[in-house]
Chain A
Amino acid sequence: MQMSLPAPEGRLLTYADALREAVAQEMRLDPRVFLFGLDVDDHKAIQGSTRGLLEEFGAERVFGTPLSEDAMTGLAIGAAIAGMRPIHVHIRMDFLLLCMNQLINVAAKASYMYGGQVRVPLVVRSMIGKSWGQGAQHSQGLHAMFMHVPGLKVVAPSNAHDAKGCMIAAIRDDNPVIFVEHRLLYHTTAFVPAHSYEVAFGKARLCMRGDDLTIVGISSMLPECLRAGQMLADIGIFPEVIDPISLAPLDIATMVKSAQRTGRLLVVDSAWTSCGASAEIVARVVEAEDTSAAIAVRRMGYAPTTCPTTPALECEFYPDPAKIATVAHAMVRPQEPAWTPNPARAKLPYLLKSHGPL
């Protein structure tokens, strides 16, 4: 079993602080970068991820907006076409639905439908708000909607190191990037280099090596898959766990290679499975030109329901390390009775700490 995050370098930083550092470093380097959106300049500072930016860069480059997501998205696009590099922040991914016309009809298409005369260097930060009663309209993972549309890049870093590197890469990218964050990840820590660096899009990361099955974990599901992997190792099942990091472009080759070797692929998403990122990954692995042997595939994600608020149902709605381990075990040892790991061991620190009021 081998974690292949880069060798520890720098300091332990939270995901929120890593995002903040990335933005601050880029804003110092490039006067065209500005950050805006509802609440970016208030005392809560988007889970702390924008704290101090107003003080350092001033209200011309860091500002809250009226509740006008549609026009503010258009504003970002227009400013980007004019040569600026906006970062538009949304405190919930659900609110991106108010931006869809501009994101899908303009941002994604401008380069193409205007024959390359314009480019739209735009970062759209948004947060999946899972847990503690966030419910139907504050918890959705809608990244697959954006993966569907040519012209958009979609990234979903699972840790502080990749959050910083992806943010810097996103700001420097000349295209619209949908940046998917997860509320439960903000307080997780990882070693983060102090210097500026990019985590390239379209390159997956092997986070745990194993031969028995391939598990792909998206966004917050990556740490949950890693915990499942540790529990599986206890009973002699060794999964290979892959973090796609970016969903569009998707490093399908890394997943194909692993799944061909293990013969089993489980994709776990922080979203619904229907027409989702998990569906896309499974389909592309199975239809890869060099896939000849049969690969057993499974997907896990939100229950096919609206997200309920009560904890009694919320825990049923989401995948968790125990459920992931159970499914993985059944894939590897279908002849054995179903196995359930020790529930105490299945809880991640952030799951234990995730309580209200929020």
Chain B
Amino acid sequence: MTHAADANAAASDLGAADIERIYRSLRLIRRVEEEIVHLYPSDRIKSPVHLSIGQEAVAVGICDALRPDDVIAPTYRGHAGYLAKGGSLGGMMAELYGKSTGVAGGKGGSMHLIDMSCNVLGASAVVGTTIPVALGYAFALKSTKTDRVVVAFFGDGATEEGVFAESLNFAALRKLPILFVCENNFYAIHAPLNRRWATEKLCERVATYDIPAYRCDDGDVLKLRSLAIGAIARLRRGAGPVFIECRTYRWREHVGPNTDFGAGYRPAAEMEPWLKKDEVMRLAALIAPERRVAIDAGIEQDIAEAVRFAELSPFPMAEALYANVFAGA
């Protein structure tokens, strides 16, 4: 049934190139979001943002185990998943700026990022909503007899929605190639788990659907990657869905660029252990300093280019208001 991740040796299986790739992805997401924090007071970003800072390891660990033709369904706290899967950085920044060159032409914003060219399904601002959509994509993949897989990302709050249970049941019934990844950051907006769940036995709940369920308690990106590799191998074999609960921690406020430990709903001390095991720092330490400097410089350059692209891009023309209400119109 359930067991905590046991992948202590995971790092030793990896070569320097793997570690560098994973680090780059973690660092890119962290730095992009720090840049968003930096830009936010300028009011040039025209979209509410739900930052993943502190939670990057979940998206990166899982997505590093995927092929380009695999599909992910991120959430409205989705910058991390979107970028980890390779979503266009310039298209994302332009989208946040409300520009016509954004991935949704400025009509979706941060909460509806999408990049179908990288198989990133569109995110939704309604909790849990993308779980069955991901399920449907997995159904279609199974129907077409490919070995591609789908990952549905969602938070702990989404597991309280009825559609989560409905989707688990159908995925198990049809043995669909879908990996359910719960990013458990312990809060649904500001409501803690102990006011929402009678028990924390989430994996046990899921396992009753005959879905193998795993939990990773510490946000270790390499353990998560290792778990994902095993899970995805099972999906590709057609053996049915897998569930992974990834405990993690949101460092910033629910929505917006700030910290919110003064608000009273959670103590600052709660974040301390997570700060100590910051995965960005941990992986940075595994990389030769000169390599790290080069990677970081590359990231800064990419971000600067993306921001410049967003700033120089035009806003959509008024006629665009009516475009795409219907497909092809």
Q: Which residues of chain A have a CB within 8 Å of any CB of chain B? A: 34, 60, 65-66, 68, 70-84, 101-102, 105-106, 110-121, 150-151, 153, 174-175
Contacts and interface: CB of A to CB of B under 8 A. Distances in A.
B287 interface: no
A34 B122 CA distance: 23
Given A66-B169, A74-B135, A115-B107, 4 more contacts: A60-B143, A81-B121, A113-B104, A175-B327
B137 interface: yes
Most buried by B among A111, A119, A151, A174: A111
Given A112-B325, A114-B122, A71 B163 contact: yes
A212 to B, nearest CB: 37
A312 B121 CA distance: 53
27 contacts: A65-B170, A68-B170, A70-B162, A70-B166, A72-B166, A74-B131, A75-B136, A75-B139, A76-B136, A77-B132, A77-B133, A80-B136, A81-B121, A84-B140, A84-B143, A106-B133, A110-B122, A111-B327, A115-B102, A115-B105, A115-B108, A116-B105, A117-B115, A118-B116, A119-B327, A119-B328, A174-B327
B114 A118 contact: yes
B170 A75 contact: yes
B226 interface: no
B160 to A, nearest CB: 14
Contact of A71 (B103, B137, B167): B167
Given A79-B139, A118-B114, A112 B324 contact: yes
A73 B133 CA distance: 8
Contact of A117 (B106, B116, B124): B116
Contacts of A175: 326-327
Given A66-B170, A113-B112, A102 B140 contact: no
B129 interface: yes
B294 interface: no
A294 to B, nearest CB: 32
A84 B130 CA distance: 17
Interface of B: 102-108, 112, 114-116, 121-122, 124, 126, 129-141, 143, 162-163, 166-167, 169-170, 173, 323-328
Given A74-B135, A81-B136, A151-B325, A115 B104 contact: yes
Given A115-B114, A118-B116, A106 B136 contact: no
A83 B325 contact: no
Nearest to A73: B132
A74 B121 contact: no
| Cβ-closest 4 pairs across A and B | A78-B136, A74-B132, A115-B104, A82-B140
Contact of A111 (B162, B169, B324): B324
Given A78-B135, A102-B132, A113-B122, A70 B116 contact: no
A84 B137 CA distance: 9
B166 A115 contact: no
B287 to A, nearest CB: 35
Nearest to A78: B136
Given A68-B169, A78-B132, A111 B124 contact: no
Contact of B129 (A105, A115, A150, A153): A105
Given A78-B137, A118-B114, A66 B173 contact: yes
B324 A74 contact: no
A65 B173 CA distance: 10
A108 to B, nearest CB: 9
Nearest to B95: A115
Nearest to B150: A78
A83 B140 contact: yes
A79 B124 contact: no
B21 to A, nearest CB: 26
B84 to A, nearest CB: 19
A212 B122 CA distance: 52
B140 A74 contact: no
Nearest to A36: B139
Contacts of B169: 66, 68, 71
A118 B280 CA distance: 34
A110 B313 CA distance: 24
A211 B178 CA distance: 61
B238 to A, nearest CB: 14
Contacts of A73: 132
A114 B104 contact: yes
B135 A75 contact: yes
A59 to B, nearest CB: 11
A68 B108 contact: no
A113 B103 CA distance: 10
A319 to B, nearest CB: 32
Given A75-B135, A101-B126, A111 B325 contact: yes
B163 A70 contact: yes
A106 B131 CA distance: 12
Contacts of B124: 105-106
Contacts of A113: 104, 107-108, 112, 122
Contacts of B323: 116
B325 A72 contact: no
Contacts of A117: 103-104, 114-116, 122
B126 A114 contact: no
Contacts of B139: 75, 78-79
Given A115-B108, A117-B114, A118-B122, A81 B137 contact: yes
A117 B115 CA distance: 8
Contacts of B136: 74-82
A10 to B, nearest CB: 31
A71 to B, nearest CB: 3
A110 B324 CA distance: 9
Contacts of B166: 66, 68, 70-72
Contacts of A150: 325
Given A105-B126, A113-B108, A72 B132 contact: yes
A114 B108 contact: yes
A114 B114 contact: yes
